Amino acid sequence: MKHILTVENVSKNYGNFTALNNVSISVPKGSVFGLLGPNGAGKTSLIRIINQITLQDKGSIYLDGELLQPEHVHQIGYLPEERGLYKSMKVGDQALYLAQLKGLSKSDAKKKLKYWFEKFDINDWWDKKIQELSKGMAQKVQFIVTVLHTPKLLIFDEPFSGFDPINANLIKDEILKLRDEGATIIFSTHRMESVEELCDYIALIDKSKKILDGKLNDIKEEFKTNQFEVGLSCENKDLLLNEINSNFSTTKSDKISFNEDVRLIVDLKSTESSKDLIKFLNNKAQITHFTEIIPTANDIFLKAVANNG
Amino acid sequence: MDKLKLIIKREFLAKVKNKSFIVMTILSPLLMVGLLLLIVFLNQKNSEEVRTVAFVDESNLLATVLEDTNATKYIDLTDLGIEEAKKQTEGNFYGLLFIKKSDSLINLSKGIQFYSEDTPSLNLLGSLENKLEKKIRNLKIEQLNFDLDKIKATETSVSIATENFAGEKSSKIGSILRMIAGGGFGYLIFMFIIIYGTSVMRSVIEEKTSRIIEVIISSVKPFQLMLGKILGNAFAGILQFIIWAISAGLLLTIITYVFGIETTSSGTAMGQINPEMIEQMHASSASELQVALQEIKNLPILTMFFSFIIYFIGGYLIYSSIYAAIGAAVDSETDTQQFMMPVMLPLIIAIYVGFSVIENPHGPIALAFSLFPLTSPIVMLMRIPFGVPWWQIITSMLLLIGTFILIVWFAAKIYRVGILMYGKKPTYKELYKWLKY
């Protein structure tokens, strides 16, 4: 089985409001899958359906090839965006409680909690109450509780909110480690730089519909605009610009680096290749910089949502 | 099932370990006992106080009835004359009783006055009036040359014995017992629903505001969580009531033991005054005790017990699931007001109807409200000790169970949607929409 999770034609309505409209996604095993979309697009609705918190009106969901069933909650770990812990309950007690709700035995849960508490160096928090901890500390406990029962599928909704950069990095490393150990991660966020860093696959949901999905690299390839950024050194700047502009369409780049005369972004037509551009430029001036402009996840997000508009 | 057990356990422990719960559980019996002791103490202090009442009896006919008792002493100031006696009494004695000289017995009763600094105690006045009336009456009888003994022999006391057609004897004491038994059970349910229903609601709101709710319902069904919460709180409540019952019983025994000795000693003191009366009282109270015991035996105890269990469970589950739904619908306790009113209303009506039920246990109001499922747990329980036809009990219970299933279903739906809704106070219209999600 290639996919850990398959969502087929899922729709969900709340009264007259359509939260999800015929959404299908497939999450490959062992990947980090970015579930992206603007606020109110339907991401949380989809995540709640996968967690069986709400039921879809239409469509079906398969976990590891099996139709989703109540017992499957033990194989899923979910860190919701709106998350918290009991304020007046001791950290250890509620970690144990939540772990047991996920189907772990008490002794098992204790053993695993000990491992994670030692790993995060928070052993002395066991008897503290949540109200005595800072927000970041509580988030750490929540992360542990989410991953404790070694689920096949982990769903993180904005996992880095509330963490300082050091701890965010710690959590990021742990997420990647979990993937390497065989878990699949669905990752929902608005922080595009972390999508860039972590995700192998993405799906983009906008206005209750899926508008884009696939391997991040493939999507980038697809969204490539055949643009190149070039830096040139020459004696007669104006002459050079004239010559380039008569052959290619260009825009001025906002960056000019040290000892460069010209910095341009060149749009190539689909019939032209980078080879032609290099050849042309090489004859006119000294090339100091040449890169293909690859769209960032942020660019893709903005463009796709704007197109869907 | 295991998860439900886990939830119940957590809710129970969270409630029981709560400081306010511990304080309430321990403190309230102590407070009650303290209050009781205070009342007993004050009463005793009150009765220990001896009042001295002076009197001027110009008629020289009535002074004989003014005998000293434990609480009141009498001083004869007739020789001083009324003006001097007033001066003497002021500041020295509790009051001055003045019986004006008169030409006839008929006018004698009109010329009696009591002087005192403050308004005199009604008890004292009453007892004085009683004594004087009796004496004047006897004097009149004598004056008319009637034989006092013969007239005394005509005095009769009637107490109507009641019995139903099945041959069971009943009495006023029985009715009072029934009122206490029914009222007590009904009130217990009322209190339990209010205290622990609110506690369920608070616990739901706490899970919402602390945002742990979504983590939990990704592991368990919302209905399981709601049920676990309701049951966990109920067990905590039952534990609290048991602790209260045991400690109340214990403390009461201690109190009756301590004060019991004193009552017997004061009893003997009273016995010295009027042994005959005491004997009579003993005899009558003994027979009344027997009647009471008989009445207790006659109560439909088994029916009462089982119906208490059923109405308790049904009533608590109905109301606590409504409370849970309210808790889920709002963001904070201050927002609950608009929804609380319709919940409290039937409960309060039930208690009020309950009082009228005691007057007329088989009237149409009693029947209607003991069938209506939102009031039946309280009203029917108050009726049962008076004897209720089986068909009524069974209809009422079936209605209760039906309503219970319906309401829990509705509440669970509202709960399921509400726990994930943040930031806005829903209207009734929105709640209705949630039912269809």
Burial bucket for residue A8 (CB in 10 Å: 0-12, 13-18, 19+):
middle
- B112 phi/psi in degrees, rounded to 5: -110, 130
pLDDT at A80: 93
- Establish, for the pair of chains A and B, how many residue pairs have beta carbons separated by less than 8 Å: 68
Residues A119 and A244 reside in one and the same domain: no
pLDDT at B403: 92
What's the pTM value of the predicted model, to 2 decimals? 0.77
Is a pLDDT exceeding 80 seen at residue B112?
yes
Residues A183 and A70 reside in one and the same domain: yes
Closest CA to A102 of A153, A175, A45, A37: A153
CATH classification at residue A256? 3.30.70
pLDDT at A175: 93
Question: What is d(CA B177, CA B182) in angstroms, rounded to the nearest whole number?
Answer: 8
Contact A70 B219 (CB under 8 A): no
CATH no., domain B48-152: 3.40.190.10
Residues A42 and A105 reside in one and the same domain: yes
pLDDT band (50, 70, 90) for residue B273 = very low
Segment of A27-31, B119-123, B152-156, B307-311 carrying the highest mean pLDDT: A27-31
Question: Residue B100 in 3-state DSSP?
Answer: coil
Residues A105 and A92 reside in one and the same domain: yes
Residue type, B331: D
Q: pLDDT averaged over chain B? A: 82
pLDDT at B167: 61
pLDDT at B362: 84
Is a pLDDT exceeding 70 seen at residue B357?
yes
pLDDT along chain A (309 residues), means of 10: 89 89 94 92 92 92 92 93 89 93 93 92 89 87 93 93 88 93 92 89 93 92 88 83 85 73 83 87 87 90 88
Which chain B positions have a beta carbon within 8 Å of A100's beta carbon?
Answer: 6
Residues A113 and A157 reside in one and the same domain: yes
Question: What is d(CA B132, CA B120) in angstroms, rounded to the nearest whole number?
Answer: 17
Domain boundary among A221, A243, A258: A221
In a domain, A113, yes or no: yes
Residues A234, A239, A244, A247, CA torsion sign:
negative
Residues A40 and A56 reside in one and the same domain: yes
pLDDT at B171: 63
The share of chain B scoring above pLDDT 70, in percent, equals: 88
Residues A154 and A273 reside in one and the same domain: no
Residues A147 and A235 reside in one and the same domain: no
pLDDT band (50, 70, 90) for residue B6 = very high
Domain hosting A107: range is: 3-221
Residues A178 and A257 reside in one and the same domain: no
Tokens read off for B50: 């001896």
Q: Provide the number of structural domains found in chain A.
A: 2
Average pLDDT over residues B276-293: 57
Which chain B positions have a beta carbon within 8 Å of A86's beta carbon?
Answer: 14, 206-207, 210, 212
Question: What is d(CA A87, CA A132) in angstroms, rounded to the nearest whole number?
Answer: 9
Instruction: Tell me the residues of B at the A interface, defined by beta carbons under 8 Å apart.
Output: 3, 6-7, 10, 14, 18, 206-207, 210-212, 214-222, 416, 420, 422, 433, 436-437
Average pLDDT over residues B224-239: 92
Q: Which residues contact A288 (CB under 8 A, 6 or more apart)?
A: A231, A232, A233, A257, A259, A260
Q: How far does the CA of residue A102 sit from the closest CA of chain B (Å)? A: 6
Residues A259 and A172 reside in one and the same domain: no
**What ipTM was reported for this prediction?**
0.84
Is a pLDDT exceeding 80 seen at residue B173?
no
Nearest residue, CB atoms, B214 vs list A14, A82, A100: A82
Residues A85 and A216 reside in one and the same domain: yes
Q: How far does the CA of residue A101 sit from the closest CA of chain B (Å)? A: 6
Tokens read off for A107: 């002794």
Is a pLDDT exceeding 70 seen at residue B166?
no
pLDDT at B287: 63
In a domain, A300, yes or no: no
Tens digits of per-residue pLDDT, B41-57? Answer: 887 777 677 888 888 88
Residues A184 and A258 reside in one and the same domain: no
Question: What is d(CA B209, CA A86) in angstroms, rounded to the nearest whole number?
Answer: 10
pLDDT band (50, 70, 90) for residue B100 = confident
Question: What is d(CA B419, CA B415) in angstroms, rounded to the nearest whole number?
Answer: 6
In a domain, A302, yes or no: no
In a domain, A303, yes or no: no
